[in-house]
Amino acid sequence: MTLQRHTLFDRLTTVHRPDCALFADGPLPAQVMGPDDLALRLGSETSGRYADACRPVFEDLRRVVGQLAGLMILAQLTASSDVSSLAELESCRQRWTAAGERIAALTAPDALAPHREQIVAAHAFSGLALGTFSELRPRGDNEAAFDVISRHVRRAYAHLSAATAEKAGLAMVDLSHACCSCGR
């Protein structure tokens, strides 16, 4: 089952376009064990290798999800409705594509396969949101497209949240210079 899922998701992330409906299949967002939880069980080397490889993917997806949500707010609420031509959307696309390539090369020990699936699903749903941005029309009625984008962004965020592992460096917020942490 796990292998089949891997095959399906690998195919989806490498072959299909960001707006392909097949991405909608996959695991539900649910908290899974991350590399820091598994370090004790597997030995830190195995899980550490996975965490190292996963970190840049997680970072890419964290940004993609944040950008998509922010761009949607701007498209909805500001006069700059032509978001689809913004450089930030193009950079988001490039980051999403780069994340897909990294995921394709990301191998997980069996115990971390559910973690990888959450990452893959976060990538897939952010791809669906990304694809829907091209449907936005300047000065048009975009309510239906916004609903779709919103749904996919929420789902992508839920999958990414499920894959957070603070001690492995897979964290949603960078608190290193935050108001609470200066000098620590």
Partner 1 sequence: MSDYSIWVCEYSYVKNYHKSGVLYGAHNQGFVKLPYCYVVIKGRDHIAMVDVGYNDKDYGKVLGDRFGVENWRSPTTVLAEIGVKPEEVDTCFITHAHFDHFGNVEDFPNAKFYIQEREIAKWVWAMSLPDRLRWMMVAVDPGDIVRGADLARQKRLVTVNGAVSDVLPGIDLHAADDSHTWGSMWVTVRNDGQAQSQDTWVLAGDLVYVFDNIHGPGAAVDEKEVYTPVGLAVGSQTNLVLATEAMMKQVGYDSHRVIPVHEERLRDTFPSRITKDGLRITEICLADGESSKVSA
32 vs 69 by CB, closer to partner 1:
69
Q: What's the alpha-carbon Rg for the chain, to the nearest Å?
A: 17
Strand-pairing partners, residue 179, are: none
Element (H, E) at 10: helix 2-15
The torsion angle over the Cα atoms of residues 64, 160, 103 and 45, rounded to 10 degrees, is 130
**Exactly one of 21, 78, 105, 141 binds partner 1 (CB under 8 A); which one?**
78
x-or-dash string of contact with partner 1, 101-120, rule CB under 8 A: --------------------
Which phi and psi (to 5°) does residue 157 adopt? -65, -40
Residue owning tokens 């460096």: 169
**Exactly one of 87, 105, 139, 141 binds partner 1 (CB under 8 A); which one?**
87
x-or-dash string of contact with partner 1, 36-75, rule CB under 8 A: -----------------------x--xx-xxx-xxxxxx-
**Interface with partner 1 by CB under 8 A: which range of 11-19, 42-50, 90-98, 131-139?**
90-98
Give me the least distance between CB of 176 and partner 1, in Å please: 7
Q: Is position 162 an interface residue for partner 1 (rule: CB under 8 A)? A: no
Give me the least distance between CB of 178 and partner 1, in Å please: 4
Which phi and psi (to 5°) does residue 165 adopt? -150, 90
Say if residues 153 and 129 touch (Cβ distance below 8 Å): yes
Closest CA to 115 of 174, 30, 180: 30
Q: Is position 184 an interface residue for partner 1 (rule: CB under 8 A)? A: yes
Residues near 25 by beta carbon (within 8 Å), at least 6 away in sequence: 8
Contact residues toward partner 1 (CB under 8 A) are 59, 62-63, 65-67, 69-74, 76-78, 87-88, 91-92, 95, 146-147, 150, 153-154, 157, 161, 166, 171-184
